[in-house]
Structure 1
Amino acid sequence: MPLPGLNTADKIIVDRRKPHRNSDVARAVRKTRDQLAHQPGNLSFDRELLKLHARAMARVALAIPAMVLVIAAIGLYAGIREQMLAWTVVTLSGYAVLALVARHADRTETSRLNVATTHRNFLVAHFLSGFGWIYFVLVDCSACVPDQLAVMKAIVLLLAIAATALIASLLRGALAVTFVPPVAAYILFAQHLWTPLEALVAGLLAASLPFFGYVAGHMNRAALTLLSFRSEKDALIAELDTAKSMSDEARRRAEEANLAKSRFLASMSHELRTPLNAILGFSEVMGDEVLGPIENKTYRDYARDIHTSGQHLLELINEILDLSRIEAGRYQLNEEPVVVTEIVEDCCHLMELKARNKDIRIEHRFEPDLPRLMADERAVRQIALNLLSNAVKFATPGTDVLVRVGWTAGGGQYISVKDAGPGIPEDEIPVVLSAFGQGSIAIKSAEQGTGLGLPIVQGLVALHGGEFELHSRLREGTEAIVIFPPSRVMEALPALPAPKIAARR
C-alpha cells in the first residue's frame, strides 16, 4: 500500500535546477497559439466560418424566397402581373444559385474546403441574388400612387437587408455585394419627382446599409470570438486528455515498479536473515567464549562488534521486510482481542532504561476500564515501540515523554506519544512520513536511524482501518497520534451471575 508523502519526498530528490525552461516554452507556445487563434486570417477559422455560413444559408434557404413569393402575391393582387412574375423568376433563380453553392460547401469536408474559391463563389452567388432586388426597384406600376410605391419598395428592401444581415453575417462583404447595387438603383433610377418623402426614404435606405453592415460585422466578430473560444476549449480538453493518459500510464508504471520493488525487498530480506542468524549465533558464541577462552582480547572485542552490528542489521532487515510486506499487501493481520493499555504499558517499561540513560522520564496517562480492541497484538506493540523509540530518541534531555491512551470523540481508541524535542518543520512532515525520510533538524540533533519507523506505523494503522496524525512545532516538540476506528472496539463482556461462578468452581 503506497504511503502518503512519497510524492513530496520525491520532489526533494528530483533535480529541478531549471524549472523555468518548461514554463517559458509553454507560455510562448500558448501565446503564439492564442495569437493565431484570434486572427481572422487563420485558415482553420476561415474554413469554420465558411462552413457555418453554408449551414446557415442552407437552413434558411426558404426564408427569403418565401418573402419573395409573398411580395409577388401582393404585386399580382395589385395588378402588376407580368413584371412581378418576371421578378419572381429572376430573384428565385439567384437564391437557387446561392442555395446550391451553400449546399456544396456544407457537404464538403472542412479540411478539403478551399477558402479562397469558396469565399469567391459565395460572393458571386450573393451578387447574383442582388439582381432580383435591382429588378424589383425598377418595377413600375401605373395604377399605383408614386409616393406609396416608393415607400413600399423601400420597406421591402429594408426587410431584405435586415434579413440578409442576420443570415449572412458570417461572410464578410455578403451584405454589400448583395444590396449596394439595388440601393444605388433605387436612388438613381427609381425616383423621378424627388419629393421630400421620396428623398427622405432614399436617405433612410442609404443610411441603412452602413448600419446593418455594422451590425453584421459585430455579429461576425462575436462569432469569430466564440469560435476561437471553442477551439481553445477543444485544444485544452485534448491537452488535458493527453496529460491524463500520460499520468495514468506513469502512475501504472510507478505502481508496478513499486510493487516489484516491494516484492524484491521482501524476498531479499527473507533470504538475508538466514545467513545473518548464523553470523549472530557464532559471533555470540565467540564473544561469550562458550567453547573456550580466547586469549587475544582484540578478537573478543571484534566478535562482540560483529554481534552488535549483526543485530543492528537484523533490525534494519526486519523493518524493511515489514514495510515491503505492507506496501506489497502481503502483511497478514492476526486479529485477536487485545488491551491497548497493557501493550503500551509494557512498551513503556521496555523503553525505561534507554530513557533514563538520556535523563528522560516517561509519563503515561491511561483512561481506566478501556474495553478490548480487535487488533493484531504484534502490530500494536510495534506501533507503540516505534513511537516511543522516536520520542526518546529526539526528546531533549531532562524533559518528559507523555504517553496517553484513551477514547476518541467518535467512540474509537487512540494512542498519543508527545515529546519536547526540536520539532519538525511543517514542510518536512511529508518527508519524515516517507520511506527512509528524515528531517534536517532531526538528523543534526539526534542519533541516526533508518527512517522506516513512521512509515511502518502508517502502514500498520492503515491495515487496521485507522488514522495516523503527526503534529509538530519547531522548538516545542512533536506529538504522534494513532487512532483506531470504533468498529474495532469490542463491547464489554457482562459479568457472570454468582450461581454460574459457583457452578464453574
Structure 2
Amino acid sequence: MSNGVDTSADKNVLDLTRHNRNRATNRAVRSTRERLQTGPGTSPAFDAEILAMHVGACLQGAAVIPITILLIAASGAYFTTQPHILIWGLFALTMHAIGILIVKRASKTEITPENQIKWRRILLAAQAAMGLSWAIFVLQDCASCNPTAFTFYKGAVLLVALSITAMASMLLRQAVLFGFLPTVIALTAVSISGRNILDIGLTAVFTTALIFFIYITNRLHQANLKLPSFQTEKDDLIAELEVAKSLSDEARRRAEEANMAKSRFLASMSHELRTPLNAILGFSEVMATEVLGPLNNPLYKEYAGDIHRSGSHLLELINEILDLSRIEAGKYELSEESVSLLEVAEDCIGMIQLRAKSKNIRIEQQFEKALPSLWADEKALRQVILNLLSNAVKFTPQGGEIMVKAGWTAGGGQYISIRDNGPGIPENEIPVVLSAFGQGSIAIKSAEQGTGLGLPIVQAILAKHGGEFKLKSKLREGTEVIAILPSSRVLESLPAVSEVKAVEPRRRQFA
C-alpha cells in the first residue's frame, strides 16, 4: 500500500509541475504571438533590438551617402559651372556628419526598452536634418542651364537619394518620411510659385515615389521585425520540447520502476500464496477421496471436492501470474535442449483428451512426418501448446471439432496450428484478447472464465525463442492460433521455399 501511495504522490507532484510549466509556457508563447502579429505597436524590447540593428547598419554604410553627395556636387558644379552646388554639398556633408556622430553615440549607449523612444526620436531628427539638405538642393537654380535638363538632373538626384536612404534606413520606422518630407514641401513650393509644368511633374513623380518607398520600407521593417519574433518563438518552443522530453523521460523511468516493483511484488506474493494453497489442495483431496476413512455426511465430500477444484483454479491463476511477472521482470530463463515438436504436441493432446471427451469434442491431428528436433525449452513449449489447446476446448461447443496441425513454415521453421469451430472472436476484440488480463465478450459470458494471461504468456515464451504468434478468427466461424518457431531453432533444417532448388537439401547443425 505504501508503494501505491508514494507513486500516486509522485504522480501528483509531476502533474502539478507540468501544469505550472504549461501555464508559464502558454503565457510566453501567447506574448510572442502577440508581438509577432502586431505591426507598429510592437513590444519595446523588439523595438530596442531593431533600433540597435539600425544603428549598426548606419555605421557599416556610413560612407555611401558622402560618396553620393560628392558625386552629385561634382557633377552639378561641372554641368552648371556655378559654385553654389559645391556649397550645398558641403552643407549636406555637414548634416550627414552630425547624423553619424549621433549614431556613434547611440552605438556606445545600450539601447533599452526604456530609452528606445528617446533614441528613436533623436535619430528621426537627424534624418529630418539630412532631409533639409535635400530640400535646399531642390531650391537650387541655374540661369545658364537648360531648364528641362536641369529639372531632369534634380529629379534623378532626388530619386537616387531617396532609394539609397530608403535602403539604409528600412529598420527605422518613418525615417524615409522624415527624411524627404521637407523635400516634398520644397518641391510643392517651387511648383506653386513657378507654375512650371516640369516642376509640377517632378513634384508628382517624386511624391509618388516617396509614397511607394514608404510602403516598401514599412514592409521591409515588418519583415525584419518578424525575425527576432520568430527566433523568440522558436526558443520558447525548443525550451518547451526540452522540458517535455525531460518530463517524458522521468515519467517513463517512474513507470518502468513501478512495473518492476509490481512484478517483484507479484512474484513474492505468488510464492507466499502457493505454500498454504498446496496444503489446502492436499488436505481437500485427502478428504474428497476419503483416504482416512468415510465422511459421515455426504455433503462434506462434495464440499471437499469444491474446495479442491477452486484451489486448483486459484493455483493455476497464481502460476500464470508468476510466469508473467517473471517474464516482465526479465528473469524467465530458457532451459534449452533438443525437443521434438510432434512428441510434445501428442503428449499435450493426450493430457487434454479427457476434458475434450467430457464435452464430446473430437481432436483431429495432421502432422508432417519426420520433423527434425528443435532447440527449445520443452517445459515452455509444452506450456504454450497446453494453453492453446485448453482455450480451444474451453470455447468449442458440445460436439465440436479441433484440428491440430504441425509442420514446416515457408521460411524453414516449424509451426503448430490449433483451429476450433467455436463462436470466434470479433475483429475489434482481438487486440484485447492478446493483452494481459484481456478477455473478449465471449469469454466473459462463458461459464469457464479464465485469467486472460494465457495468450500473453504464449506470446512472451515464443518471443523468447525468437518465434511468432498469430491469431486468426471470425465471428461464428471459429478461431485458429499458430505458434511459429524460427528456422534457427531447427536442429536439422530445410532451405526456405524461395531458395529451394533441384539439389540435395542442405543440412546444418544449430550452433
Shorter-chain TM-score category? 0.7 to 0.9
Q: CA deviation at 1:141?
A: 6.3
Question: Does residue 1:88 correspond to 2:86, yes or no?
Answer: no
1:61 counterpart SS class: helix
CA contact 1:468–1:482 (8 Å) conserved in 2: yes
> Distance in 1 between the 2:70 and 2:192 partners?
22
Write the deviation string for residues 381-436 of structure 1: whole angstroms up to 9, x where unpaired: 11111112112212343433333333333333333323333333333333222221
Aligned 8 A contact 1:400 1:419 in 2: yes
* Distance in structure 1 (CA, Å) of the matches to 2:40 and 2:380: 66
- Report the secondary structure of 2:63's partner residue: helix
Post-superposition offset of 1:479: 2.7
Map of 1:467 onto structure 2: 468
Give the SS at the match of 1:397: coil
Distance 1:189 1:380 in 2: 106
Tell me how far 1:354 sits from its aligned partner.
1.7
- Separation in 2 of the partners of 1:93 and 1:170? 20
Post-superposition Cα deviations, 1:119-154, rounded to whole Å, max 9, x if no partner, equal 444434433443343344445667765544443333
SS in 1 for 2:491: coil
- Establish whether residue 61 from structure 1 lines up as the match of residue 59 from structure 2: yes
Aligned 1:145-294 pairs, distance under 5 A = 146-189=147-190, 195-223=196-224, 231-294=232-295
SS of 1:86's equivalent? helix
Task: Identify if the C-alpha distance between structure 1 residues 267 and 64 changes in structure 2 by more than 3 Å, giving closer, same or farther.
Answer: same
Equivalent pair of 1:418/1:478 in contact (CA under 8 Å):
yes
Percent of residue pairs bearing the same amino acid type: 52
**Structure 2 stretches of 5 or more lacking a match?**
1-22, 79-84, 495-511
TM-score (norm. length: structure 2)? 0.79
Deviation at 1:206, TM superposition (A): 1.1
- Could you say which residue in structure 2 is the equivalent of 1:8? none
2:38 maps to 1:40: yes
Letter matched to residue 489 of structure 2: R
CA distance 1:292–1:445, shift in 2 (3 Å): closer
Aligned partners of 2:465 and 2:130: how far apart in 1?
A: 81
Q: Which residue of 1 aligns with 2:11?
A: none
Take 2:465 and 2:442, find their aligned partners in 1: how far apart are those partners? 31
Give the stretch that moved more between structures: 391-400 or 260-269: 391-400
Corresponding pairs, count: 463
| Residue identity matched to 1:160 | A
State the shift of 1:453 in Å: 0.5
- Aligned partners of 1:262, 1:137: CA distance in 2, in Å? 91
Letter in 2 for 1:66: V
Q: Secondary structure, in 3 states, of the residue corresponding to 1:359?
A: coil
1:132-179: CA deviations, max 9, x gaps?
A: 433444456677655444433332332332334344444432321222
CA displacement at 1:45 relative to structure 2:
5.0
Q: Which residue of 1 aligns with 2:351?
A: 350
The 1-side partners of 2:379 and 2:32 are apart by 62
How far is 1:72 from its partner?
1.0
* Cα distance in 2 between the residues matched to 1:143 and 1:336: 116
Q: Which has the higher contact order (CA 8 A, sep 6+)?
A: 1
Aligned to 1:404: 405
1:319 matched residue in structure 2: 320
The one-character-per-residue Cα deviations of 1:168-192 (angstroms, maximum 9, x if unpaired) are 4444323212221223224425997
Secondary structure, in 3 states, of the residue corresponding to 1:331? coil
1:120–1:443: structure 2 CA closer, same or farther, 3 Å change rule?
Answer: farther
Matches within 5 A, 1:463-502: 463-491=464-492
Cα distance in 1 for residues equivalent to 2:41 and 2:255: 42
Q: How does 1:379-390 map to 2 (within 5 A)?
A: 379-390=380-391
How many Å separate the matches in 2 of 1:131 and 1:271?
98
In structure 2, the residue corresponding to 1:244 is in which secondary structure? helix
SS at match of 1:404: strand
- 1:332 and 2:330 equivalent? no
Q: How far apart are 1:322 and its partner, in Å?
A: 0.4
Q: CA deviation at 1:327?
A: 0.4
8 Å contact kept, 1:151–1:198: no
The amino acid of 1:86's aligned partner reads F
Which deviates the most, 188-197 or 51-60? 188-197
Q: Which amino acid aligns with 2:91?
A: A
**Contact 2:135–2:182 at 8 Å: present in 1 too?**
yes
After superposition, the Cα gap between the structure-2 partners of 1:413 and 1:183, relative to the gap in structure 1 and judged at 3 Å, is: farther
Q: Structure 1 residues 423, 157: CA separation in 2 closer, same or farther (over 3 Å shift)? A: farther
Q: After superposition, where does 1:384-463 map in structure 2 within 5 Å?
A: 384-445=385-446, 447-463=448-464
Asked whether the 8 Å contact 2:99–2:123 carries over to 1, the reply is no
Q: Distance in 2 between matches of 1:412 and 1:122?
A: 83
Tell me how far apart the structure 2 counterparts of residues 485 and 44 of structure 1 sit (CA, whole Å): 66
Cα gap change, 1:140 to 1:367, in 2 (>3 Å): farther
Instruction: Give the Cα separation in 2 of the matches to 1:426 and 1:29.
Output: 46
Instruction: For residues 256-290 of structure 1, give each alpha carbon's deviation from its aligned partner in whole angstroms, at most 9, with x where no partner exists.
Output: 10100001111121122222222222222233232
Counterpart amino acid of residue 432 in structure 2: V
Structure 2 counterpart of 1:360: 361
Cα-to-partner distance string for 1:444-502 (whole Å, 9 max, x where unaligned): 14521111111111211222222323333333333323332332222359xxxxxxxxx
Q: How far apart, in 1, do the equivalents of 2:191 and 2:93 lie?
A: 19
Match of 1:97 in 2: 102
TM-score, normalising length: structure 1: 0.80
Offset, 1:204: 0.9
Work out whether residues 50 and 119 of structure 1, in 8 Å CA contact, stay in contact via their aligned partners in 2. Answer: no
Query: Secondary structure of the residue that 1:211 maps to in structure 2?
Result: helix
Query: Could you tell me whether the CA contact under 8 Å between 2:95 and 2:129 is conserved in 1?
Result: no
Q: Which amino acid aligns with 1:301?
A: E
Structure 1 counterpart of 2:380, one-letter code:
A
Does 2:39 align with 1:51?
no
Moved more, 186-195 or 418-427: 186-195
Q: Is the 8 A contact 2:361 2:396 kept in 1?
A: yes
Counterpart amino acid of residue 181 in structure 2:
V
